[in-house]
């Protein structure tokens, strides 16, 4: 088991290096030199050369790559072109907000998605099953930003129940709609996965035995089927974390949530390359780490492959 | 499911092809007297902030979204097939390199990588194709690689090699046909997710630039007018949802047809 954990951690290193390399390539691809993003287009050649020397953009590509990697090793993601503030510091300030939203969304997704999936599996082939699965397809197909706008329209503008934007004091009123929006794709995904996992488990022999023994159906479902069905679901919930990183970009923009996604969008609007690339790199690294943890957890939770 | 999803897709394809005939107004025509009109007889979906008819822009937007979705899927599919086949068939060092590259590409959350590419290259239609393809090819490649590795071990491949058929011949005649069904299913599902991706990138201003009508940019424009004119955002978003539902249902239906494992479970019951 320990051997597997070490092997897995070692395998993560080339992936992290690859992510950094791809981000560097993207940085390098910016047309017209990143200098233009710093000083604007109406600049004379002399100033441009000065800026290039100052930022080390006149050096050969391999040297810039090595510098880039060594800065990353010190967790330095550069400085914003527009504010001059350190990108890593800004990310550290905003990431907890995104994390809070992601956890809330995951919570919402679990308490809605799993019962939906179980209900759908138990009532397979009936009307309820079709409704649940249609809701699941709807959830996966709906654009996240549109759903958020819809919620704002209904609950803030017409009904006036919930605040339309902002994080407030971290109270639950501000959290509800963003969490629902971010969790929408997850709800649908979890419902579908729970359904297929339950169906697979319910076809097993031990379920048939329990029923033959005369165990009431609800105990068969809750005690026997659900526990086994949920093992793969739990790990898939962890892997779905990537969708929160994606969705946070749009959700935070709509709800004015001061998180990582909104920071990235601000960078996009200002064409502030270090902010955008720093956020992309950080999110990818977080995603890799989460996958690593989930992978190890899955091995640990599933007694069949633990030994 | 195939019928329902397929009919939605066909309806939207027809709309995209015949949009000049179906659209009641010119989608680029600005009419400041009629701005922010709510849905009425003259404008079935209302007008936007500079008086352009929303329904016409949605109809023309169908063309943009479908073209981007389909073309990006085709590009991803071609690259995915290429790398997947090479990786799966030749194995060894090449396989390890390509697999490493696939893992790295899949390590990025999709939308964020697309945003990174779009910001690096600059906004525009071409950027959309490139950004979405860069994100999408890895999924195809990984799936194709799995299928190719299984197909490579079949007896008929060994027999073909024994009678002297070249590698390319084996790949084209024997390996590729195995991939067709899974590729079709994955491609159908990918079109849906690329349409969502395109909408998201347009929403952020990284896609096709104004005045080109795209659903994502329409939702984004309407955001500022949510209080007074919610139809500018809501109706294009609904169009996105319906199209993607259509493609997802179609893809799910095709998967149910093509996936033998599912069929075996069905017959067991």
At residue A305, the 3 state secondary structure works out as helix
Report the C-alpha gap between A178 and A187 in whole angstroms: 14
Q: What is the pLDDT of residue A36?
A: 63
User: Would you say A203 and B268 are in contact if contact means Cβ atoms under 8 Å apart?
Assistant: yes
Is B245's Cβ below 8 Å from some Cβ in A?
Answer: yes
Is residue A30 left, alpha or beta, with left meaning phi > 0 and alpha meaning psi from -120 to 50? beta
Q: State yes or no: pLDDT of B221 exceeds 80.
A: yes
Write out chain B residues lying below 8 Å of A24, CB-based. Answer: none
Q: A150 and A103, same structural domain?
A: yes
List Cβ neighbours of A298 (8 Å cut-off, separation of 6 or more): A231, A232, A234, A235
Write out chain B residues lying below 8 Å of A19, CB-based. Answer: 104, 107-108
Q: State yes or no: pLDDT of B262 exceeds 60.
A: no
Q: What is the CATH classification number for the domain harbouring A214?
A: 1.10.3720.10
Query: Which of B102, B107, B215 best tests the A interface by mutation, with the highest count of A CBs <10 A?
Result: B107
Chain A, nearest residue to B104 by Cα: A15
Q: With an 8 Å Cβ cutoff, are A138 and B241 in contact? A: yes
Report the C-alpha gap between A42 and A66 in whole angstroms: 31
Examine residue A173 and state whether it is found in any structural domain, yes or no.
yes
pTM of the model: 0.85
Indicate the residue among A5, A40, A73 that finishes a domain: A73
At residue A190, the 3 state secondary structure works out as helix
Percent of chain A with pLDDT over 90: 0
Examine residue A80 and state whether it is found in any structural domain, yes or no.
no
List Cβ neighbours of B252 (8 Å cut-off, separation of 6 or more): A137, B1, B5, B189
User: Would you say B38 and B229 are in contact if contact means Cβ atoms under 8 Å apart?
Assistant: yes
Chain B, nearest residue to A146 by Cα: B237
User: Would you say A238 and A50 are in contact if contact means Cβ atoms under 8 Å apart?
Assistant: no
B247-264 average pLDDT score:
73
Location of structure tokens 């956020």: A279
Q: A127 and A66, same structural domain?
A: no
How deeply is B124 buried, as exposed, middle or buried, from its count of CB atoms within 10 A (0-12, 13-18, 19+)?
Answer: middle
Q: How far is A102 from chain B (nearest CA, A)?
A: 14
At residue A79, the 3 state secondary structure works out as strand
Percent of chain A with pLDDT over 70: 91
A179-199 average pLDDT score:
87
Q: Pick A202 or B261 by higher pLDDT.
A: A202
Cβ-nearest to A283 among B109, B203, B233 = B109
Cβ neighbour number for residue B262 with a 10 Å cutoff: 12
Q: A284 and A175, same structural domain?
A: yes
pLDDT confidence tier of residue B77, bands split at 50, 70 and 90? very high
Q: How far is A264 from chain B (nearest CA, A)?
A: 9
Q: A283 and A167, same structural domain?
A: yes
A279-306 average pLDDT score:
78
B85-92 average pLDDT score:
86
Domain span at A287: 91-305
Q: What is the pLDDT of residue B244?
A: 92
Q: With an 8 Å Cβ cutoff, are A31 and B237 in contact? A: no
Q: With an 8 Å Cβ cutoff, are A141 and B248 in contact? A: yes
Examine residue A289 and state whether it is found in any structural domain, yes or no.
yes
Q: State yes or no: pLDDT of B67 exceeds 80.
A: yes
DSSP code string of chain B? -HHHHHHHHHHHHHHHHTHHHH-SS-TT---GGGTTPPS-SSSTT-B-TTS-BHHHHHHHHHHHHHHHHHHHHHHHHHHHHHHHHHHHHH-HHHHHHHHHHHHHHHHS-HHHHHHHHHHHH-SSHHHHHHHHHHHHHHHHHHHHHHHHHHHHTSHHHHHHHHTT--HHHHIIIIIHHHHHHHHHHHHHHHHHHHHHHHHHHHHTT-SSPTTS--HHHHHHHHHTTTTT-THHHHHHHHHHHHHHHHHHHHHHHHHHHH-HHHHHHHHH-
Torsion angles phi and psi, residue A297, rounded to 5:
-60, -40
Tokens matching residue A104: 């809330």
Q: With an 8 Å Cβ cutoff, are A15 and B244 in contact? A: no
Chain B, nearest residue to A255 by Cα: B223
Cβ-nearest to A246 among B110, B234, B244 = B110
Q: State yes or no: pLDDT of A223 exceeds 50.
A: yes
Average pLDDT over chain A, rounded to an integer: 81
Q: A170 and A205, same structural domain?
A: yes
Chain B, nearest residue to A20 by Cα: B104
pLDDT tens for each residue of B130-154? 888 888 898 889 888 888 888 888 8
Is B186's Cβ below 8 Å from some Cβ in A?
Answer: no
B 250-269 near A (Cβ less than 8 A) = 252, 265, 268-269
A254-278 average pLDDT score:
85
Q: What is the pLDDT of residue B74?
A: 93
Examine residue A5 and state whether it is found in any structural domain, yes or no.
no
Q: A53 and A117, same structural domain?
A: no
Write out chain A residues lying below 8 Å of B250, CB-based. Answer: none
pLDDT tens for each residue of B6-65? 888 888 888 888 888 777 777 777 777 777 777 777 777 787 778 788 888 888 889 888
Angle, CA A195 vertex, CA A204 and CA A302 arms, to 5°: 60
Q: How far is A153 from chain B (nearest CA, A)?
A: 7
Q: With an 8 Å Cβ cutoff, are B112 and A137 in contact? A: no
Examine residue A195 and state whether it is found in any structural domain, yes or no.
yes
Q: A185 and A230, same structural domain?
A: yes
pLDDT tens for each residue of A53-101? 766 666 777 888 888 888 888 887 777 777 778 888 888 888 888 988 9
* Alpha-carbon separation of residue B197 from A26, B133, B193, B240, B250 (angstroms): 19, 11, 6, 11, 19
Query: Which of B38, B102, B104, B118 best tests the A interface by mutation, with the highest count of A CBs <10 A?
Result: B104
Q: A268 and A201, same structural domain?
A: yes
Chain B, nearest residue to A34 by Cα: B120
Q: A66 and A105, same structural domain?
A: no
pLDDT tens for each residue of B157-203? 888 888 888 888 888 888 888 788 888 888 988 999 899 988 988 88
pLDDT tens for each residue of B98-128? 988 888 888 888 888 888 888 888 788 888 8
B 194-213 near A (Cβ less than 8 A) = 196, 199-200, 203-206
Write out chain A residues lying below 8 Å of B248, CB-based. Answer: 137, 140-141
Q: A216 and A130, same structural domain?
A: yes
B 59-118 near A (Cβ less than 8 A) = 100-101, 103-105, 107-113, 115-117
Taking alpha carbons only, the member of B246, B222, B224 closest to residue B234 is B222
Q: What is the pLDDT of residue A289?
A: 86
Examine residue A100 and state whether it is found in any structural domain, yes or no.
yes
Examine residue A85 and state whether it is found in any structural domain, yes or no.
no
Q: How far is B106 from chain A (nearest CA, A)?
A: 9
What residues are paired with A86 via a beta bridge? A79
Q: A107 and A32, same structural domain?
A: no
Q: What is the pLDDT of residue B243?
A: 92
Is-cis flag, bond preceding B211, omega within 30? yes
Query: Which of B8, B115, B224, B242 best tests the A interface by mutation, with the highest count of A CBs <10 A?
Result: B115
Q: With an 8 Å Cβ cutoff, are B203 and A283 in contact? A: no
Q: What is the pLDDT of residue B253?
A: 85
How many domains is chain A partitioned into structurally? 2
List Cβ neighbours of B222 (8 Å cut-off, separation of 6 or more): A149, B48, B229, B230, B231, B232, B233, B234, B236
Examine residue A4 and state whether it is found in any structural domain, yes or no.
no
Q: A273 and A215, same structural domain?
A: yes
Q: How far is B85 from chain A (nearest CA, A)?
A: 22
Chain B, nearest residue to A249 by Cα: B112
């Amino acid at each position: 088991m320990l051997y597997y954990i070490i092997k897995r951690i070692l395998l993560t290193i080339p992936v992290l290096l690859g992510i950094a390399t791809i981000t560097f390539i993207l940085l390098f691809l910016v047309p017209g030199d990143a200098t233009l993003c710093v000083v604007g287009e109406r600049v004379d050649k002399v100033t441009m050369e000065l800026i290039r020397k100052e930022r080390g953009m006149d050096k050969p590509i391999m040297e810039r790559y090595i510098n880039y990697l060594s800065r990353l090793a010190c967790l330095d993601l550069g400085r914003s072109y527009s504010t001059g503030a350190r990108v890593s510091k800004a990310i550290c300030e905003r990431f907890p907000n995104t994390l809070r939203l992601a956890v809330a969304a995951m919570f919402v997704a679990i308490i809605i998605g799993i019962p939906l999936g179980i209900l759908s599996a138990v009532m397979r082939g009936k009307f309820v099953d079709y409704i649940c699965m249609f809701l699941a397809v709807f959830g996966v197909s709906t654009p996240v930003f549109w759903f958020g706008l819809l919620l704002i329209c209904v609950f803030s503008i017409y009904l006036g129940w919930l605040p339309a934007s902002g994080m407030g004091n971290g109270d639950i009123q501000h959290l509800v709609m963003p969490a629902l929006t971010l969790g929408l794709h997850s709800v649908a995904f979890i419902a579908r996965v729970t359904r297929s996992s339950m169906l697979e488990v319910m076809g097993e022999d031990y379920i048939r035995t329990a029923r033959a023994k005369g165990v009431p159906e609800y105990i068969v479902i809750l005690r026997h089927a659900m526990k086994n069905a949920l093992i793969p679901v739990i790990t898939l919930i962890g892997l779905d974390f990537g969708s929160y990183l994606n969705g946070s970009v749009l959700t935070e923009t709509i709800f004015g949530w001061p998180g990582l996604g909104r920071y990235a969008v601000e960078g996009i609007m200002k064409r502030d390359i270090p902010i955008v690339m720093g956020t992309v790199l950080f999110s990818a690294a977080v995603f890799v780490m989460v996958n690593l943890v989930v992978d190890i957890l899955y091995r640990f939770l599933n007694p069949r492959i633990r030994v | 499911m195939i019928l329902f999803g397929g009919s939605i897709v066909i309806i939207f394809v027809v709309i995209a092809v015949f949009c000049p005939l179906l659209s009641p107004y010119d989608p680029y025509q600005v009419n400041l007297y009629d701005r922010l009109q709510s849905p009425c007889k003259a404008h079935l979906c209302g007008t936007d902030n500079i008086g352009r008819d929303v329904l016409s822009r949605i109809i023309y937007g169908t063309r943009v979204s479908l073209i981007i979705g389909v073309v990006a899927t085709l590009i991803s599919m071609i690259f995915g097939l290429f790398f997947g086949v090479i990786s799966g068939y030749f194995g060894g060092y090449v396989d390890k390199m390509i697999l490493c590259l696939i893992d790295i590409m899949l390590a990025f959350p999709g939308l964020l990588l697309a945003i990174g590419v779009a910001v690096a290259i600059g906004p525009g239609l071409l950027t959309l194709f490139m950004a979405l393809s860069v994100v999408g090819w890895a999924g195809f490649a990984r799936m194709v690689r799995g299928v190719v590795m299984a197909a490579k071990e079949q007896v008929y491949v060994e027999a073909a090699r024994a009678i002297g058929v070249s590698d390319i011949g084996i790949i084209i005649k024997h390996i590729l046909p195995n991939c067709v069904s899974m590729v079709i299913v994955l491609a159908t599902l990918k079109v849906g997710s690329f349409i969502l991706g395109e909408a998201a990138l347009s929403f952020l201003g990284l896609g096709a630039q104004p005045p080109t009508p795209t659903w994502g940019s329409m939702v984004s424009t309407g955001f500022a007018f949510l209080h007074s004119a919610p139809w500018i955002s809501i109706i294009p978003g609904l169009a996105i949802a319906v199209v993607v539902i259509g493609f997802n249902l179609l893809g799910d239906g095709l998967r149910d047809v093509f996936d033998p494992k599912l069929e075996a479970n069905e017959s067991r019951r």
